[in-house]
Amino acid sequence: MESQNIYHNKTAQWLSYLVVFVGLAFLPTFIDPFTLNQFSRYAVLAMLAVSVSLVWGFGGILSLGQGIAFGLAAYGMGMTMQMQFQDPESNPIPSFMLTNELSELPGLWVPFWNTEVGLLLALAVPTVFFVIFGALMFQARVAGAFVAIMTLAMLAAWYSMAYDMQPFTAGFNGISPPLPFDWLGVSFDPYSPITYWVALGLLAFVVLASKLVLQSKFGLIIQAIRDDAERVRFVGYNVAFYQVVIFAMSGFIAAIAGITWVMLTQYVSPVLLEVQFSIAMVIWAAVGGRLSLMGAMIGAFLVNGMQSYVGDAFQSTWLLIIGGLFILVVRFLPKGIAGLIETGLGYVPIGRRRSDSMSSNPARAAE
Q: Does 221 bind other proteins (CB under 8 A)?
A: yes
Among 215, 319, 325, 354, binds other proteins (CB under 8 A): 215
**Residues 298 and 337: beta-carbon distance below 8 Å:** yes
Among 173, 230, 310, 317, binds other proteins (CB under 8 A): 230
Shortest distance (Å) from residue 141 CB to other proteins: 11
Q: Does 241 bind other proteins (CB under 8 A)?
A: yes
**Residues 50 and 293: beta-carbon distance below 8 Å:** yes
Q: Does 14 bind other proteins (CB under 8 A)?
A: no
Cα three-residue angle 203-314-267, rounded to 5 degrees: 40
Q: Where are the beta strands (DSSP E) in the chain?
A: 181-183, 186-188
What is the distance of C-alpha 170 from the center of its chain? 25
Cα distance between residue 163 and residue 271, in whole Å: 9
**Residues 262 and 268: beta-carbon distance below 8 Å:** yes
Task: Using alpha carbons, list the distances in angstroms from residue 354 to 13, 194, 273, 351, 365.
Answer: 20, 46, 48, 9, 18
Q: Does 353 bind other proteins (CB under 8 A)?
A: no
Task: Using alpha carbons, list the distances in angstroms from residue 209 to 59, 69, 124, 219.
Answer: 16, 18, 18, 12
Q: Tell me the per-residue interface mask from 195 to 214 with other proteins, x by CB under 8 A, - otherwise.
A: ------------------x-
Among 231, 328, 330, 340, binds other proteins (CB under 8 A): 231
| Stretch of residues binding other proteins (CB under 8 A), selected from 72-80, 226-234, 308-316, 345-353 | 226-234
Q: Tell me the per-residue interface mask from 27 to 56 with other proteins, x by CB under 8 A, - otherwise.
A: ------------------------------
Q: Does 140 bind other proteins (CB under 8 A)?
A: no
Q: Which residues bind other proteins (CB under 8 A)?
A: 1-3, 213, 215-218, 220-221, 223-224, 226-228, 230-239, 241-242, 245, 358-359, 361, 363-364
